[in-house]
Structure 1
Amino acid sequence: MHAVLPALAVFVTPGLIAAPSDGAAWLLRLREAAQHRDFQGTLVNSIGGTVTSSRVAHYGENGHQYERMEMLDGQMRRVFRHNDMVVTLWPERRLAVIEQRDPSTSMPVLMRARPDEHVFERYELRPQGADRVAGHEAQVYLLHPRDGLRFAQRLWMEPHSALLLRVDLLAGDGRVLESAAFSELTLGVRPQPDSVLRPMRKLDGYRVLRPTLVRTRLDAEGWAAPEVPGFEQVSCVKRVLDEGEDGRSGETLQTVYADGLTHVSLFIEPFRGGEHQKPVQTAIGATHTLMQRQGAWWITVVGEVPPATLHKFAAGLVRR
């Protein structure tokens, strides 16, 4: 996620699509589709002038969710998920990382889009007409933010399944910052949970890392929680890294905030002079990152939100 993408013209047929009269029912359809529809296809991400693709599949069976994702560009990486258990494999390095993660914050945007009932308090839903994506008919909607603390999102929804086919994140002037879309998609495929479970279990020859996650609270760790309008804390864990993951070992406090559509993550770790230097602020597509020192601590705030939002989170995080 680097420089801003050039504005991409979106050609949609005006049509007679109206905003859903029952917003809660519309959101429920999106959540149900993301969790329970069976599909497989190729997902293309355009971020900061870089285009990458991955082969993805999702199955819902007997109340369980199964997903697999294989990166088709760059270093080979495969991700398998069964409910909240995620196994990431780097075959060339013979490395496997096993951890419990919230799928709403860890999977590609089209596979984790599960907006909640608070969305319409922070975004206005605007119908944008009809279009086609990967050979499928789509209804297009714009979720326009009610303040400057978040980005607009344009959604292409397959009308029968309610599955999202494409998502664009937009700057305030309408530029496309990031885009994720299926280039090929098959709906209603036969569930194949074994294609997910088998690789999760067959780890012979891999070095296996199991980061320890301990649920906690910011106040219990000696911090006053930031208060940013429209965002609520959804998780707080103390993450203990095994030596070798990300090239180091240690303990990091991670807190995730959400506004019902997007997420912001805060990471707190001990300040290390040899590694942590001057404050850093970066932008890659819609993802902004702020890193700075706060006393004996190094703070990282990252999310698909404007820079001003990150600064509010950083300013509100106070050591007690």
Structure 2
Amino acid sequence: MTISTRRSVSLFLPALVLLCMAQIATAQPAPPAASTPSASSGGPDESSNLSVVEWLKRMHGAARSHAYVGTFVVTVAAGNLSSARIWHACEGDLQIERVDVLSGPPRTTFRRNEQVLTFLPDQRVIKSEKRENSELFPNLLGVPDSAIADFYTVKVVGKGRVAGFDTDVIQLMPRDQLRFGYRVWTEKRTGLLTKLQTVDSDGKVVEQSAFSELQLDAPVKVQALSQMMGSTAGYRMEKSQVERTTAQAEGWALKNPVPGFKPMSCNRRAIAGSERTLQWTFSDGLATVSLFLEPFDAKRDAQEGTMALGATYTLTRRIADPAGDWWLTAVGEVPARTLEAFAQNLTRQPTR
């Protein structure tokens, strides 16, 4: 995986993965084991009858209709830890968010709907880009559709408490081996996601994300965050060069689709002034996979393989092409077999 592609991956992964990938610091304590929520008490709860799509719509709506401030912490099975401070405000269709990474070199990211500015104080640089997909916290790509229910089932586990708030606890269970399961804590009154565990096929928690402190309906205003986002004096602005395209126009196709994963976007991106890298993104409504493709360079792209960090897997592979080989970097919060399915089905086709 090249340095340039590593940079592109860190910029375009979904919000929860960004927190985990961004300058990981080694944690002293081991990550918590899978929590066992307390059994539900009392009479029947109306929320227990919700479908998987209805649960996701509830979370989606809560994140876009409430202001909140909190500290969000990500731990992975290896014991690594990262954390960030999140401010979120909304006003009608306008969503604005500030995320300060608390681990490693300082970095602040603002997002106002599709516009994203990342401040790098040590370099006095601001990276500006537009993102098509909704990547505000939590990571739900638009309003969930009914197709999600074809690949996940939902089970109400019980009740819990996170950051001082009473929560409902549900489990989203995959119907196949191509995706992880999730244990989700949502604030009881609003449905805001407060804690998420990603669970593998053996029931092991491979990654946990949770608020350690949360102010719900906090007095944070859109105008205040907008003013902070506009304070660019003393920084050099670097605009990402992104060109929307299609996989077909670029000569790529999947021989067979990977079940449940729909193409979301396809862009060419200029990275570090080098030849443009193609990013083809897929999602099943919860998990996301990005395929990064660039011309193969023997001096740079030496080793194929698969690596994991928490729930995020990365696969690198050389793709033979008579006109010149290519280098694939596939990244997603999915099991390794899912990336392998994408790699095996990826093929070149004549361009028009």
Question: What is the TM-score normalised by the length of structure 2?
Answer: 0.83
C-alpha separation in 1, matches of 2:164 and 2:214? 8
Shift of 1:198: 2.2
Matching residue of 1:52:
82
C-alpha separation in 2, matches of 1:260 and 1:24? 10
Q: 1:86 aligns with which of 109, 113, 116?
A: 116
Shift of 1:7: 6.6
Question: Within the alignment, does 1:126 sit opposite 2:129 as a pair?
Answer: no
Shift of 1:178: 0.6
Uncovered stretches (5+) of structure 2, i.e. residues with no partner: 1-20
C-alpha separation in 1, matches of 2:297 and 2:110? 34
3-state SS of 2:339 partner = helix
Matching residue of 2:304:
279
Within 5 A, what are the aligned runs for 1:237-316?
Answer: 237-243=267-273, 249-295=274-320, 296-316=325-345
Q: 1:77 to 1:55 in 2, by over 3 A?
A: same
Matching residue of 2:7:
none
Matching residue of 2:215:
186
3-state SS of 1:275 partner = coil
Deviation string, structure 1 residues 114-153 (Cα, Å, up to 9, x no partner) = 5612221110101110000000000000000000000001
Within 5 A, what are the aligned runs for 1:1-320?
Answer: 8-16=33-41, 19-47=48-76, 48-102=78-132, 104-105=134-135, 107=136, 110-113=137-140, 116-117=144-145, 118-225=147-254, 227-243=257-273, 249-295=274-320, 296-320=325-349
3-state SS of 1:42 partner = strand
Question: Counterpart of 1:286 in structure 2: which amino acid?
Answer: A
Q: 1:165 to 1:281 in 2, by over 3 A?
A: same
3-state SS of 1:250 partner = coil
Deviation string, structure 1 residues 224-273 (Cα, Å, up to 9, x no partner) = 13510111001111112353xxxxx3301101100111100000111112
Shift of 1:29: 1.5
Q: Is contact 1:6-1:176 (8 Å) kept?
A: no
Matching residue of 2:17:
none
Q: Is contact 1:42-1:56 (8 Å) kept?
A: yes
263-272 or 198-207: bigger deviation: 198-207
195-204 or 149-158: bigger deviation: 195-204
C-alpha separation in 1, matches of 2:151 and 2:243? 31
Question: Counterpart of 1:259 in structure 2: which amino acid?
Answer: D
Q: Is contact 1:103-1:112 (8 Å) kept?
A: no
Q: 1:134 to 1:230 in 2, by over 3 A?
A: same
C-alpha separation in 2, matches of 1:7 and 1:194? 38
3-state SS of 1:78 partner = strand
Q: Is contact 2:183-2:198 (8 Å) kept?
A: yes
C-alpha separation in 2, matches of 1:203 and 1:103? 25
Q: 1:230 to 1:159 in 2, by over 3 A?
A: same
Question: Counterpart of 1:288 in structure 2: which amino acid?
Answer: Y
The number of residues matched between the two structures is 311
Shift of 1:23: 4.5
Q: RMSD value over aligned CA atoms?
A: 2.0
Q: Is contact 1:143-1:153 (8 Å) kept?
A: yes
3-state SS of 1:162 partner = coil
C-alpha separation in 2, matches of 1:303 and 1:152? 14
Q: 1:291 to 1:24 in 2, by over 3 A?
A: closer
Q: Is contact 1:151-1:306 (8 Å) kept?
A: yes
Shift of 1:19: 3.5
Question: Counterpart of 1:74 in structure 2: which amino acid?
Answer: G
Q: Is contact 1:98-1:210 (8 Å) kept?
A: yes
Question: Counterpart of 1:227 in structure 2: which amino acid?
Answer: P
C-alpha separation in 2, matches of 1:290 and 1:128? 34
3-state SS of 2:56 partner = helix
Shift of 1:113: 3.5
Q: Is contact 2:87-2:220 (8 Å) kept?
A: no
3-state SS of 1:33 partner = helix
Q: Share of identical aligned residues, percent? A: 37
Shift of 1:62: 2.6
Q: 1:7 to 1:166 in 2, by over 3 A?
A: closer
3-state SS of 2:64 partner = helix
Deviation string, structure 1 residues 147-194 (Cα, Å, up to 9, x no partner) = 000000110011211100001101111111111100110111224223
Deviation string, structure 1 residues 64-117 (Cα, Å, up to 9, x no partner) = 000001011211010000001100011011111000014544x5xx53245612
